[in-house]
Chains A and B, each alone.
Chain A
Amino acid sequence: MLEKKKLIVSHAPFWHSGSRVTERSYHTIFAALPGVLLGFYYFRMPAIGVVCLSVATAILWELVINLVSRRPITIGDGNAAVIGLLFGMLLPATMPWWAVITGTFIAIVVGKQIFGGIGSNAFNPVALAVAIMMVSWKDLFDFDGMLLNYDLDFATVYPIAAAKYFGTEGVISFNLWDLFMGRQIGGIGATFGLGLVVGGVYLILRGFIRWEISLSFLAGVYITAFVFHLFDPIRFISPAYQLLTGYTLIGAFFLATEDSSSPVNVIPMLIYGAAGGVMTVLIRNAGAYVDGVILAILVINLIHPLLDKIRPKALGKVV
């Protein structure tokens, strides 16, 4: 009986659809590329430097935490790279190096690993890092000031800031098509509306993010902005501008849709997204901050477990 073959015994099912965490991460990176590349084109070397440093340090922080906590090395799943890339995309191209490293530290260590790593983070790590950085170093996120020395063939005015201070007057000089095609200043990867929409639609079709969240987020922004605009068209910009400026599109397709901090059922996803959109415009139009996307996403992250209590009744559930 020495030649007895050793078989593997495992539990059913013996097939798998083949989806993997790595696959999700790399497709997210792929979908974000159009936005990043246009940012590289307009903001040149400094932008490339910031994004590369952001991705690299995000992976390094993850590795450090893996080693320190003596847990399996998880940098291969690409989640740290996604966080690094998205964080870099939200920054101005002239972000100092120490701020990038601090930001990725907050995202990876405070935003993700302290909670227990992938899947356990209550908040979107990128949104959390940007929020903390924005509060701590306000000037670093003043895009007008940070990108002052750029000589571009379009106005180096941050549209959403102009809207905040000057209302419709501030953005009237911007052409909507130009905004959509990324001819505006802002975060490195957050300005190219077309690229972000294409990337987002790609992720939706491939099933990596949910349309319910993205569309309800955008609908929330549009409808709330529309109501504000109706109420006072001079003070509050029209909804189309709200959609195409600031972090709206990257927030709708790449930040609000993060798996672990978003709901999974249809109705909760719709409420979650819509609440994010409404909060965004409320903060922009009535709050103290220039852009409300980041804080709105943190707020909806906070309510997501509660929203997921709205769930369909399982078959044969006995109340």
Chain B
Amino acid sequence: MSLRISGVILGFSLLGLFSYALFSGLEMPFRASLLPVLTSIAAIPLVILAMIIDARRAQKTGSQIDESSGDLAVSEAEVSTDAFRRVSWFFLWFAGLILAAHLFGFLIALPSMVVLYLLACKETLSTAILLAGMVLAILYWGFQKGLVLPLPRGILITLLFGN
């Protein structure tokens, strides 16, 4: 999917979001609806305007990247096919990290996934173990003991070994 199509989808998603907020806001009591309704009324024409300006800019410059944004600039390297492959891989890993944390708990899942990531990036096993140990130390002594934060044990671990 080209960057331009992705940008158009983003624009229409925002349009859909504000339209939904407007119509569901109208069904709320007056006091609760004030902010969502006023916000959506102002936002809908602005989204359309932003999309038109974007389309004109893309037509004029031929570039897919909006370099005028006030946010951190996106480089050409970040929008290459290779970059998208790396980002997709990262998201898969990130989703796996969250799923593993839910199943096995933070203390097991997070260091294990760090090792997995580092090995996949061709780092040495000793580096991977060192960094995973560091993460485990921060989680256990920093958060669980230091901040007295009860880190979840994971639903699978709880099912197998109980609370």
Q: Do A and B bind each other?
A: no
